[in-house]
Structure 1
Amino acid sequence: MTRSDLLALTPGTLASLANRGLVKRAEKDLAAGSGPVVTTGDDGTVRGTFPDGTETVLPPGRGLDAADCTCAAAGMCRHRIALVLAYQSGAPEQAPAAQEPLVDWSPGEFDDDALAAALGRTSLTAAHRVRARGYTARVHRPATDDPAPRVELPTCTVRFPVPHALGYALTDAAAALRGEVITLAVWAFRAADAERATEVSVGGRTSTPTAAAGEALREAVALADELLLDGVPQAGPVFAGSLRRAARALTATSRHWPAGAVADLREQLDAYTARATRYTPERLAELLAELHARHRAAGHDPAGVLGTAEAPVTPLRRVRLVALGCRIGGTARDRTAETYFAHADAGIALVLRTRWDLTEDQCPTGHDLSRRRLLGSPLHALATANVVSEHTARAADRTVTLSRGRIAATSITPVGSAWTELPQALLVRDTAAHLRAAGERPPRLIRPRVAADAVRVIMVDAVEGIGYDPAAQRLEAVLRDPAGNGVHLHAEYNPLCPGGLDALAAALADDGIRAVSGMLGRARGRAVLDPLAVLTAEGVTVPDLAPGAGDSTLGATARHRHDPITAALRTALTALADAAHQGLRHVTPTTRTALTDSADRLRRTGLNGAARLLDDLTRTLHDRGAHAAVPHWVTAHIHLTTSLDLHQEDG
C-alpha cells in the first residue's frame, strides 16, 4: 500500500506542522546517514528504526502529531519528520504524485464521525457550541497556484494541504484550539458547497438570540437615536459613559461589529469635546446610520452583520509575519501607528496598532516616530521586516498583538524578497482578475468590521504619469501590473508626515521598482491603490516614516472631470451630517434649506428616489416633529451612502 498522504507532504508543509528547525535537522541526519530503516506494512503503516534505537510508527489515517515515537520529545520530533523524508526518498517511482495536476476536492466531504475520529469528541462538542451561536467564514477552493483549500475564520485560518486527509490540516490557532477550528472549517466548506458560495454564515440563524443580546443591541440603537435627536453639542460625559457601557454589553454578547461602531461613536464625541480634528460630522452620521443598518439587517444574517459569536481574541502558535508598511495618524494630543503585516500561511493581512500620548510641547512627525522602539526594534525596522513571534493573538477584526517579552532581536530581520514570495491571495500580478474574483460584497455599512481586508501587494512592471494635484493635495500615478492592467495610485498628503509624498514620488520614479503595497479597491470603475510602501532594488520605502519637509517640486497631474452624481450625493450626505450634528430637535433654518436644495440637486441629476427620501425627511420634520423624522433620516442616509459607494466602485 502506497502512502500518498506522506508523498504529498512538502518541506513547507512539514515546517508548518513542526518548524523549520526540525525539518533542517532531519534533512541533515539523512544526509549524514543517520536516517531510519523504513518498512511498510500491508495496511500502509510505515515504521522507522533509527541507529540510536528510536522507533517511529506512522499509521494510516492519522496525522504526524498522532504518530508513535519512542524518543523523549513531548510533541512533534525530528524522528517523525525524518521518517517521512526517508519514505519519500525510498519511493522514487511515486515521487511525481506530488506533482500531479490539481486535485479539486472539498474538506466538506468529511462527516461528523470522521471529524470525531480524527480530532476527538471534545473538539466536536466545542465546535457545536460555536455553531449554535453562528459564525462567518470565507472559503478558498483549490487553485493551480494555491492547491490547498483553506478557510478564513474570524480569528484564525485553516488549510488542508493534503487531499482527502484531515490529520495534516494546518491552522495558526494555538494547539488547544486546533480540533475545534478544523471542525468549524470543515462545516464552512459544507455550507459553501451547498450554497455554491465563497462567504458563508454557518449556524446561528435558527437559534433565538438571548434576551441580553437583543437588549444590548436595542439599547445601542436607542442611544444612537437619542444622539441624533439632541445633537453632539448637547451630549455630555454622562452620555459618553452610556455609550461605553453599551459597547461593553455588546461585546459581552458577541455583537462585535455594532460594539465597534458604538466605540467609534464614543471616540467621535471625545474628539469633539477635546476639539480634535478626528471629529467630523460626516463620520458621526455614518456611525449612526451603521448601527441602524446592522439592526435592520440582523435577522437576515446575524453572524455576518453583528459579528461572530466566537471569542474576540484567539491565541496563535508560532507565526511568521511580513511587514507591508505603516500608516501614521493622530491629533494634537496623540499619535498612532498602524503597522501592516502579511500572514503568508493564512493568506491574509493583519494590523498592529500603537498609540502614544503627547505632551503640549511635543509635535513629532512620522519620521520622528520611526525611531521609537516597538518590540525591541525601531518602528522603521519593524515596518520593513520579517517578524517571527511565538506569542501572538489575533482579534476578530484582524488586529494583532505581539508580546514584548517574547520577541527577541533576532526575530526581526529585513524583509528582503519576502514580498515577492507571498501567496496569490496577497500578491497580485493581475489586478483585474483579482478584483473580479473578489466578487460582490454586502453594503459597506453592514460588512464585517475587518481591518486590512483590502491590503495587497501589487507587482509593478512600469509606472506612468506621476503627478501632483494641488487642489486635492494628492500624488497620483498609474502602475502597470505584469498583466498590463492599469492601477491608479492615489496618495493623500498627510501633514504629520511632510516628507511622505516626496519619498513616494522618488520611489515610484526608481528604475528598480518591483512592487507597491497598499489598500486595493475600485473607484469610478477603475482599480485604485492607496499606497503604504514601495519595494525597489534598494529596499522598502515607507512614505509615512520618511524624512523631509515636503518642499520638493512635483509635476502637476491632469485635471479631473467634474462628476455631478458624486457631487450631488456628497452634498446631500453633508446636509444630513449637519442635521445629525445639530440634532433633529435643533436643526437650523440653514440646514433645512440645505436639505431642500440637496433634494432638488439630486432630482436634476436623475436620482429621483434619493430626492424623495430627503423630501420625506424635511416634510416629516416640519409636520410631525423630530422624533417622527428619525427613521426617515436613517433611511435617507443608508440609501445615499450605499448609492455613493456603488457609484464610486462601478463608475
Structure 2
Amino acid sequence: MTGPMTAAGTGAAVRPDLLALTPETLAALANRGLVKRATKELDAGTVPVLTTDPDTTVRARFEDGTTSALPPGTGLDEGDCSCAAPGVCRHLIALVLAHQRSAGSDPDGDPAAFTDWSPGSTDDAALTDAVGTRPVASARRTLDRGYAALVHRPSPDRPEPRVELPTCTVRFPVPGEIAHALTDAAAALRGEVVALAVWAFRAADATDTDERSVPVQVGGRAAAPSTALPVLDTALGLAGELLAEGVAHVGPVHGGALARAGAALTARSMHWPAGAIAELADQLTAYADRTAQYRPESVAALLTEVHARRRAAAHPGVLGTREAGDTPLRRVRLVSLGCRVHGTGQSLTSEVYFAHPGAGTVLVLRKAWTAAEGKELSAHRLATRRVLGTTLASLAGGSLVSESVRRTPSRALTVARGRLGTTTITPVGAAWTELPEPLLVRDLTALAEGWNNRPTRLIRPRVEAEAVHVVELSEVESVGYDPAEQRLEAVVRDAAGSRALVASEYRPECPGALDALADALEGGATHISGSLHRSGGGVRIDPLGVLTPAGTVVPDLAAGDGSTALAAVVRRSSDPLTAALEEAISAMSAVPHSGLRHLNVPARARIDEAASALSRTGLARAATLLRAFTEALDDGALPAGEALAARSRAWLDAQLHLLVSSELRASGKASGTPGDPGAATGGSDRRVGDGP
C-alpha cells in the first residue's frame, strides 16, 4: 500500500487509495444512486466529522449519530458502519467523498498521472489480508486444477489493469491497492476471483513478453489431465465415424451419441470441444429435418476443429477453462447491441447481445421459440413475445439492470428463474456512445492489428460474441443490393476514416431485415453494432443494430416482406486466391457429407479440379495435400481399417491447411484491401422469397 500523505493546512493523514476512487469507481462498488445521494448531502452541508487514527484508519461521525470507518488495506465492502444497511452504504460513500474534499482533491478534475503497475506484485500475505483466508483457500483449489485467463496490463489510454477470467472480469482501479478491486462476479465470489486475478497477473509478469494483453494458463498442468483425455478420444472416435459414414448415412443414434459425448466433455470442463461436438449434433438434426440450417461446410469445419483441438491438447486453453459451468454476477448494467434471429418457420432462436461496460465484454442471451401447430413464426412476430417481463423488441433495444444473471465460460447469459423482479429494462438511449474501448471502436485498422497474434480460430476459445463491437461511423459511402448473392452491401468509414464493408444476407425468417438496414444506413447512421471479421485484408461487419438520430434500429426484428426495391451494387471481381481456396473448401466438405466409404465419382472429380485450380494460382502446398488425399482414396494395398485411417488423416491434413490458409488470406497476410462495392447504380432488384 502507498504510504499516507498529509493534507495541506491540516495535520491529518491523507489516504491515497481513497483519493483515487473516482465517482465511476464508487458507483461500481455500490451503485450510482448512493453516490448521487451522498454527493447531494455533502453539497447541502451535511458533512460528517472526520478523524484519522495513527494507522490511517479514517473515521466519520454523522449528525444522526451514525459512525463509519475505513481501515487501510481494505475495500469499501470491508468498511464498518453502524447503520443497518447491508454492504456498501451511503455513509461509507460519504466518508470517501468527504475525505477527498478535506484533502483538496477534485475527482472530476484532471486525471491522475498514469501509473504502470501490476497487481501481481502483491504477495500472498497481503492478498489474504485484503480478501480473507477462506476466499484464498477456495481460490487455491482452482489454482491446483489450473485455469486460463487473459491479462490486460495498464496503458495510458486504459490505465486500469484487468483480468478476463473464464466467467467474470476483475479490474484494479487504484494503483498499488487490490482491496478496491472491481468484479462483475457476485459478492460471495469476489474474494476468490480477485485472488485468481492477482495470480494471473503474477503468471503474466513471469513471461518474457511486453505485450499489453497476455493469455496465461495458471497453476495445474498445461496438458489436459490423462483421466480426461479418454473422454475427448471417445468424442474423436464418434467424429471419425461420422467422417467415414457421412452425414447422409448415419442415423439418429449417432446424433444422440454425440450429444452424450458433448455432455461428458462439459462435465470435465472441456467446454471448447464440447461446443464443437454439440454443433455437430445440431447439424445432424438439421439435415434429418431438411432445414436450411444444415451446411456441409460447417460439418467439415467442426470435424476439423475437434481433431485440431485434440492435436493441440497440451497447449493452454485449447480444450477449455477448467472452470465451473457458470458464475453468478453481482448487480450489473448491460447495454443491448441488437438481436440475431435464425431458424425456420417452425423453430426460431433469438440471440440478444449485451455489452457489459464494466467488464469490457459482450454476453449473449439465447432463447428458442417453437411455432404452434399449423402456424409459422417470423422474426418480426417474435418482436412482441415476452422475455424477462418485457417484449423481445424492447429487450433488444434496451439496457438491462439485473441482480439475477449468470455468465458461462463462453459468455452466454442466463437469468435465474423466479427472480424477474430483480431485473429492469430501460431504453438504450445514447448508451452506445458511452461504451469504453474496445467495445466501442473508432479505428478499425488498430483493432484488426490487435488480432495479428491470435491463434487460429480452430483452437481459440469458443467465446460467444468474441467479435461483436459497436463501430462509430463518420460516413456511409454507398448502400446497395447484390441480387446474385441476395446480400445487402454498404461501404462505411469509421471515425478514423478507415473503410469497412457492411454485408447482410437475405434470410427468409427475417424478410424485412435488409429494408430496415438500408433505411437506417441511409438515414444518418452514427454507429453500427455487429460481428467484425477480416475479409480481403479489411474488416467486414455483419450488422446487429444501427444507431440513428431517430433511435436504435434492430433489422432482424423489423416489419416488412422484403419487397422494397433497392439500388444494385456493382459486382466485384473475384480474387483468384480466395476463390480457389473457397472452392477447395467446398469440394472437400462433400467428404463428411457423403462419407469416405461412400464418396461418389462427381465429388472426387470436383476435388481433382479444385487441386488443379490451387496449383494454377500458386497454392502448391494446398494442391499437394488435396492430391495426397485423392491418392489415398486410390490406395488399395492397405487393409481396410488402415486404408480408412490413412484417408481420414489425409483429409484432415488438407482441411487444416485449407482452413488456416483461408483465415490467413482473410487477415491480409497476402495482398488485398477491404471490399469496395462501389457506388450503387441506378438499377433496382427485388429479393426473391425462397431464401439464400
TM band (smaller chain): over 0.9
**Distance in 1 between residues matched to 2:218 and 2:170, nearest whole Å:** 19
Name the residue aligned to 2:337: 324
State how many pairs are aligned.
648
Q: 1:327-351 CA deviation, whole Å, 9 max, x = no partner?
A: 1101243011111111011111111
- Which letter does structure 1 place at the counterpart of 2:50? V
User: What is the aligned partner in structure 2 of residue 193 from structure 1?
Assistant: 205
Would you say 1:644 and 2:644 are equivalent positions? no
| CA-CA distance at 1:95 after TM superposition | 6.0
Verify the 8 A CA contact 1:145 1:424 in the aligned structure 2. no
Report the alpha carbon displacement of residue 368 of structure 1 after superposing the two structures with TM. 1.1
Distance 1:354 1:58, change over 3 A: same
Give the CA deviation at 1:173.
0.5
Task: Indicate which of 151, 166, 186 corresponds to 1:174.
Answer: 186
| 1:626 counterpart letter in structure 2 | L
Which of 609, 623, 646 is the aligned partner of 1:628? 646
Question: Structure 1's 575 and 96: CA in aligned 2 closer, same or farther, altered over 3 A?
Answer: closer
2:395 counterpart residue number: 382
What SS class does the counterpart of residue 411 from structure 1 fall into?
strand
Indicate the SS of the match to 2:519: helix
| Residues 185, 327 of structure 2: 8 Å contact kept | yes
Task: Rate the CA distance shift 1:207–1:154 in 2: closer, same or farther, 3 A.
Answer: closer
Q: Deviations over 1:21-52 (max 9, x none)?
A: 32233223323433310112343221111112
Residues 404 and 423, structure 2, Cα contact 8 Å, conserved in 1 = no
Deviates more, 1:168-177 or 1:85-94: 85-94
- Unaligned residue ranges in structure 2 (runs of 5+): 1-12, 673-692
1:404 deviates by 5.6
- Larger deviation, residues 202-211 vs 178-187: 202-211
Which whole-Å CA distance do the structure 2 matches of 1:255 and 1:649 have between them? 28
Give the C-alpha shift of residue 406 in structure 1. Answer: 2.8
Give the CA RMSD over aligned residues: 1.8
The corresponding residue for 1:286 is 301
Match of 2:531 in 1: 519
In 1, the alpha carbon distance for the partners of 2:464 and 2:225 equals 28
One-letter identity of the residue aligned with 2:341: I
**Residue in 2 that maps onto 1:445:** 458
**Residue matched to 2:265:** 250
For structure 1, the 5+ residue unaligned runs are none
The residue number in structure 2 matching 1:203 is 218
Task: Determine which of 140, 160, 170 is the counterpart of 1:158.
Answer: 170
Distance in 2, matches of 1:156 and 1:280, equals 33
Instruction: Give the secondary-structure state (helix, strand or coil) at the position aligned to 2:202.
Output: helix
Structure 1 residue aligned with 2:243: 228
1:141 equivalent to 2:156? Answer no
3-state SS of paired residue (2:228):
helix
1:130 and 2:142 are equivalent in the alignment: yes
Q: Which moved more, 1:257-266 or 1:486-495?
A: 486-495
Equivalent of 1:59 in 54, 71, 92? 71
The superposition leaves residues 79-128 of structure 1 with CA deviations (integer Å, 9 ceiling, x where unpaired) of: 11111111111111676997222122121211222212211232222222
Aligned 8 A contact 2:304 2:655 in 1: yes
- Determine the structure 2 residue equivalent to 1:20: 32
Counterpart residue identity of residue 315, structure 2:
H
Q: Deviations 1:157-183 (Å, cap 9, x if unpaired)?
A: 101111110110000001111111111
Deviations 1:373-403 (A, max 9, x none): 1111111111010110110000111110124
Q: In structure 2, what residue type is equivalent to 1:230?
A: E
Partners of 1:607 and 1:397 in 2: how far apart?
35
Give the match for residue 48 of structure 1. Answer: 60
Instruction: Give the 5 Å matches for 1:385-464.
Output: 385-403=398-416, 405-408=418-421, 411-464=424-477
What secondary structure does 2:481 align onto?
strand
The residue matched to 1:92 in structure 2 has which SS?
coil
Following TM superposition, by how much is the alpha carbon of 1:434 offset from its aligned partner in structure 2, in angstroms? 2.1
Asked if the contact 2:117/2:175 (under 8 Å) is kept, the reply is yes
Other structure's SS at 2:358 match:
coil
**1:231 CA drift (Å):** 1.4
Q: What is the TM-score of this pair, normalised by structure 1?
A: 0.96
User: Mean Cα displacement is larger for which, 14-23 or 358-367?
Assistant: 358-367
- Larger mean Cα displacement after TM superposition, 189-198 or 576-585: 189-198
Q: What is the one-letter code of the residue matched to 2:145?
A: R
Matched to 1:556, the amino acid is: A
CA distance in 1, matches of 2:665, 2:451: 18
Counterpart pick for 1:582 among 562, 572, 594: 594
Amino acid at match of 1:318: R
Please report how far the alpha carbon of residue 405 of structure 1 lies from its aligned counterpart in structure 2 after TM superposition.
3.8
CA distance in 1: counterparts of 2:158 and 2:29, whole angstroms: 18
* Distance (whole Å) between structure 2 residues aligned to residue 115 and residue 363 of structure 1: 57
The one-letter code of the counterpart of 1:238 is V
1:310 equivalenced with 2:328 (yes/no): no
SS in 1 for 2:362: strand
Aligned residue type for 1:599: A
CA distances 1:297-354 after superposition (whole Å, capped 9, x unpaired): 11122xx110000101111011001011111101243011111111011111111111
Q: Match of 2:679?
A: none
Q: Which residue of 2 aligns with 1:263?
A: 278
Q: Name the residue aligned to 1:38.
A: 50
- The residue type equivalent to 2:353 in the other structure is Y
Query: Comparing 40-49 with 319-328, which one deviates more in the overlay?
Result: 40-49
- Whether contact under 8 Å (1:375, 1:403) holds in the other structure is no
Select the residue among 508, 512, 515 that pairs with 2:521. Answer: 508
Residue deviations 1:566-622 (CA, integer Å, cap 9, x gap): 221122222221111111111112222222222111111111111111111111121
Matched, 1:351 2:364: yes
Structure with the larger helix share: 1
Q: Output the CA distance in 1 between the equivalents of 2:416 and 2:615.
A: 56
Maintained 8 Å contact 1:376/1:409 = no
Using the alignment, how far apart are the partners of 1:531 and 1:516 within structure 2?
7
One-letter code of the match for 2:199?
Answer: W
1:491 and 1:408 map into 2 onto residues whose CA distance is: 37
Q: For residue 659 of structure 2, give the secondary structure of its aligned residue in structure 1.
A: helix
Is 1:109 the counterpart of 2:127? The answer is no
Q: Which residue of 2 aligns with 1:8?
A: 20
What letter corresponds to residue 414 of structure 1 in structure 2? P
Tell whether the 8 Å contact from 1:136 to 1:199 is kept in structure 2 after alignment.
no
2:132 pairs with 1:120: yes
C-alpha separation in 2, matches of 1:57 and 1:326: 46
Q: Which residue of 1 aligns with 2:676?
A: none
Letter in 1 for 2:383: S
The equivalent of 1:594 in structure 2 is 606
Shift of the alpha carbon at 1:451?
0.7
Structure 1 residues 566 and 439: alpha-carbon distance in aligned structure 2, compared to 1, 3 A threshold: closer
Report matched runs for 1:361-376 at 5 Å: 361-376=374-389
